Amino acid sequence: MEFAVPTEAFIVLSTILFVLGALGVLLRKNAILVFMSVELMLNASNLALVAFARQWGGLDGHLFVFFVMTVAAAEVAVGLALIVAIFRSKNSINIDDLHQMEG
């Protein structure tokens, strides 16, 4: 099928989003922001999946997106719970403060 917007554009967008998210994970100090970056990466991969699903016309991509979303949600829940627990002991959510297990 001919589409108005070519699939490559979606992939490029997905890549840009993914890289931004990766950088965010690496460069951000705030734990919540790191999580936000992780979500961004996941969404980027969602986008790539949907784009390819649209191109090839199958339902596999769409289905996988649902799984990813569910997992992302669960993961956020757990991660936020972890942050709350850490905040309770350290009174900070600066990930640079968590280096007790160092050599």
Give the interface with another protein as residue ranges (CB under 8 A). Answer: 22, 25-27, 95-96, 98-103
Query: Which residue number, 54 or 95, has a Cβ lying nearer to another protein?
Result: 95
Least separation in angstroms between residue 49's CB and another protein is 17
Name the residue nearer to another protein (CB basis): 5 or 82.
82
CA distance 80 to 84: 6
Nearer Cβ to another protein (20/98): 98
Cα distance between residue 98 and residue 66, in whole Å: 33
Angle, in degrees to the nearest 10, between helices 7-27 and 31-56: 160
Residue 5 CB, shortest distance to another protein, in Å, is: 26
42 neighbors 27 (Cβ within 8 angstroms): no
